[in-house]
Structure 1
Amino acid sequence: MERVIIVTGLIFMVCLVVGQRPRPASCSAGNTCTMQAPYHNVTITTDANYRYITTTQCPPYDNPQWSNPNSACRTEVTYRIPLSPTRPTMADSIPVGEALQRHDDILYLKNDPRPVLGVLGVLLNGVNIYGVGSPCGFGASCPNDGGPSNYVDAVESEGHTVDQCGGHASPNGAYHVHSNLGFNDTDGRQSCQLPVDVAGEHSQLLGWMFDGYGIYGQLSLNGVVPDDLDECGGHTHLLDGAMVYHYHFPYPSQFPWVVGCFRGCPEVSNNPSEFSGVTQYGCTGNSSTNTGGGGNGAGVSVTASVYTVFLGIVIYLLHF
């Protein structure tokens, strides 16, 4: 009888755990992003050390529709962007997601170095820029189901769920893009509220990555596709009267979709759970507390190992 009670209790605990799986994001009352104008205002200010970008993280365009179940939630955040980027002292760059192999028509990323999840930068329109990585398990096999790693190319695995500007909401309600697929031409820039390129000229600034370097459209000087980008997707040349390192979105639009790595040290307060490990690359990792943040945006699901442990205990008790 005692054994039956114990087994029943364990089964009940499993049910509770299952019930705690992440549900699609639903916003608190009044905090759902509006799908029609007027939209949020993006405020950009500076002081001696930082550029501050305050945004509600909402999509600033008409009726964005994405086919995942998450709602985009209005959450104001102020990001800090260093005006004078610093380079890591123990590495040339900081990886954000490296290709491993294809499996089931999905590109998987290496577990080591682990991809940086969540927000890596912000567009001028206030939309979060996420990196290439996404956890397996959302339509892509994890290692316990034969997948080669725990992370996949987010654009390939989630691309069918995005809206006209390439964005969608994460399980925590943070609206974001993983690429420029929705705004890599004039029509897309206009509809997504971003600056339009001028024929024959360098692409427009579209946003900033959190290491302080700007990210531009796909064209370099004289409106030509650059052929000298480094592994991070950046290069240095005269821009607005100064020699400036900066990133470009890849041309054609392809992996790694945004940047291949950080050339500088990212501001930790903008995504502390993911950026806290930058000290291993020779970054200080010091920052003051942010007033919010996109977070890593990854849905945390119960892994098969939890169920395996419970099942093993139940079988053991029933056997003896």
Structure 2
Amino acid sequence: MSLLTATQILGLALGILLLPSSFIISGNAQIPSGPGTSRCPKGNGQVVRLSNLTATEYTVFFSGCPPYDPTNQTTPNIPSFQNKTATFRVNPVISANATYVGRFAKGNTTNPVLIMSTIGYSVTGIALFNDANAQSQDAYVMEAHTFDGCRGHAEQTGTYHFHSEPGPGCVYNDTAGKHSPLFGIMFDSIPIYGALGDNGVAPKDLDECGGHTDSTYPFYHYHTTYNLTAPYLVKCLRGCIFNANGNPEVRDRMASKPASCAVCQGPSPGQKSQPRQKRHHLHQSRNPVQLQLLRQ
């Protein structure tokens, strides 16, 4: 997997600064006190609120219910309020090693350690899952018949979620000739857009994780897959994960490879190293791990 250039890193930082305001801060639903205990309403149950913003991170509250009726999904599970908060970095850090989240690892080998449950959120506050069902099978192939018209359904705890891009108009609408709108953000704090890139064309330069930079958004970002092909959202997360956001499987992966995010970002292949290049480092501090942009 190629490294990012200094220009791409700067573009990433500038672009992510705009992300907190990109969330759809809305919703007048009455929020029950306990997660998973009250059904999502047939009307608008969406509540998304930016609850904290600092120079380094931001925290968003999600009710976990969509702005439409989710009861048309056909699993035996009941879509329910989740009342979650998730914290993201303002400036993501690109890891030395990708974190594979779905059915396949590097080189399309079988991934022995999948990350199940939530690995990101849509801008409307809906959980984003990987491409696997509970039996490690292709979730879209095996479970699409249980999806509602927005391609969402609920799991056992009542978490309504997407495994793929949503149905048209459920989170965003593509416009002919335009880059897809923002769909959500993954737990590595890197944004994910719909399937279309510059000029409304599906990008052909996506890396293994499903990300790249382009002219419309000159910072590293992911795209959902074109024409609903596996892995549907992302194969892996290229960014460092600083907060498990309540997912124990994410927390376990963070603990299993703590050094992967302690390596400076070097030049991309073919780019000569500069002896006094600005670099992104990670430093331990009271505010657990912070990204520092060191001056020359």
Q: Given the two structures, how large is their TM-score scaled by the length of structure 2?
A: 0.69
Map 1:36-51 → 2, pairs under 5 A:
36-37=43-44, 39-44=45-50, 46-51=53-58
2:228 and 2:63 map into 1 onto residues whose CA distance is 27
Whether contact under 8 Å (2:40, 2:65) holds in the other structure is yes
Taking a change above 3 Å as real, the CA distance of residues 129 and 288 of structure 1, as seen in their structure-2 partners, is farther
1:196 aligns with 2:201: no
2:110 is the alignment partner of 1:110: yes
Quote the Cα distance in structure 2 between the aligned partners of 1:34 and 1:258. Answer: 27
Is 1:129 the counterpart of 2:128 in the alignment?
yes
Counterpart of 2:260, as a letter, is G
Within the candidate set 58, 66, 71, 1:59 is matched to 66
Structure 2 distance, partners of 1:133, 1:207, is 19
Separation in 2 of the partners of 1:111 and 1:220?
28
**CA separation in 1, counterparts of 2:129 and 2:155?**
10
1:136-147 matches, cutoff 5 A: 136=135
Please name the residue that 1:294 is paired with: none
What per-residue deviation string (whole Å, max 9, x for no partner) do you get for residues 197-229 of structure 1?
332121111111111111111111111110100
Contact 2:70 2:148 (C-alpha < 8 Å) held by counterparts: no
C-alpha distance in 1, partners of 2:138/2:287? 31
Is the CA contact (8 Å cut-off) linking 2:173 and 2:181 kept in structure 1? yes
Q: 1:230 to 1:198 in 2, by over 3 A?
A: same
Q: Which amino acid aligns with 1:260?
A: K
Instruction: From the superposition, tell whether residues 220 and 36 of structure 1 become closer, same or farther in structure 2 (CA, over 3 Å).
Output: same
Match for residue 158 of structure 1 among 143, 146, 159: 143
1:130 alignment partner AA: F
Structure 1 contact 97–109 (Cα < 8 Å) conserved: no
What's the CA shift for 1:169? 1.0
Alignment partner, residue 260 of structure 2: 282
Query: Using the alignment, how far apart are the partners of 1:83 and 1:118 within structure 2?
Result: 23
Please show how residues 1-320 of structure 1 align to structure 2 within 5 Å: 28=37, 31-37=38-44, 39-44=45-50, 46-89=53-96, 91=97, 93-99=98-104, 110=110, 112=112, 114-136=113-135, 151-180=136-165, 182-183=166-167, 188-189=168-169, 192=170, 194-239=171-216, 243-276=218-251, 277-278=253-254, 279-280=256-257, 282-283=260-261
Give CA-to-partner distance per residue, 1:246-301, whole Å, 9 cap, x none: 000101211001001001122433144111223426147x9989xxxxxxxxxxxx
Deviation at 1:109, TM superposition (A): 8.3
Aligned pair in 2 of structure 1 residues 73, 62: CA closer, same or farther (>3 Å)?
A: closer
CA contact (8 A) 1:207 1:216 kept: yes
Measured against aligned partners, the alpha-carbon deviations of 1:134-160 in whole angstroms (never above 9, x if no partner) come to: 222xxxxxxxxxxxxxx2122222221
Q: Is the 8 A contact 1:118 1:271 kept in 2?
A: no
**CA offsets, 1:35-91, max 9 Å, x none?**
123x232113532112322111112213541111111121211111111111223x2
Aligned residues: 227
In structure 2, the residue matched to 1:318 is: none
- Distance of 2:64 and 2:215 partners within structure 1: 32
Letter in 2 for 1:97: G
Measured in 1, the distance between the counterparts of 2:287 and 2:86 equals: 11
Instruction: Quote the Cα distance in structure 1 between the aligned partners of 2:223 and 2:81.
Output: 29
Larger Rg: 1
Identity %, equivalent residues: 33
CA contact (8 A) 2:104 2:111 kept: no
Scaled by the length of structure 1, the TM-score of the pair is: 0.65
Instruction: Structure 1 unaligned segments of length 5 or more: list them.
Output: 1-25, 101-107, 137-150, 290-320
Bigger share in helix? 1
2:47–2:65 Cα contact (<8 Å) kept: no
In the alignment, the residues of structure 2 paired with residue 288 and residue 78 of structure 1 have an alpha-carbon distance, to the nearest angstrom, of: 18
SS of 1:57's partner is coil
For residues 267 and 162 of structure 1, what CA distance do their matches in structure 2 show? 31
